[in-house]
Amino acid sequence: KQEVTQIPAALSVPEGENLVLNCSFTDSAIYNLQWFRQDPGKGLTSLLLIQSSQREQTSGRLNASLDKSSGRSTLYIAASQPGDSATYLCAVRTNAGKSTFGDGTTLTVKP
């Protein structure tokens, strides 16, 4: 059974800092890994998708990496802004289509 862990559970940083969120998974036989953002009381917004054959994906200030062999992914946020405050979730998907989510990291960026 796939298990997904996100560390830390919460993170608070001053505006402008670069930061890294971590996601680890137990079964490396994945199809892809997706990072989401969730604002309080809202749905999930897709940020980045990394296919199992890829090592990283970038979108603006966000960079996600994937190391299947070690069962790890990181989400790097450069020059953080207060608007980045949200909960960030990673989801690992199997070849059969099933996704398992981590519990998320709640990020607070202080102005």
Partner 1 sequence: DAGVIQSPRHEVTEMGQEVTLRCKPISGHDYLFWYRQTMMRGLELLIYFNNNVPIDDSGMPEDRFSAKMPNASFSTLKIQPSEPRDSAVYFCASTNSGSSIQFFGPGTRLTVL
| Smaller CB separation from partner 1, 25 or 36 | 36
Residue 2 Cα distances to 21, 25, 70, 84, 100, angstroms: 20, 7, 14, 28, 7
Edge to edge, the sheet with strand 62-67 lists 4-7, 19-25, 72-77, 62-67, 56-59
Which stretches of the chain bind partner 1, using CB under 8 A? 31-32, 34, 36, 42-46, 49, 51, 89, 91, 93, 96-104
Shortest Cβ 63–partner 1 spacing (Å): 17
Select 74 or 100, whichever has its Cβ closest to partner 1: 100
Q: Give the shortest CB-27-to-partner 1 separation in angstroms.
A: 15
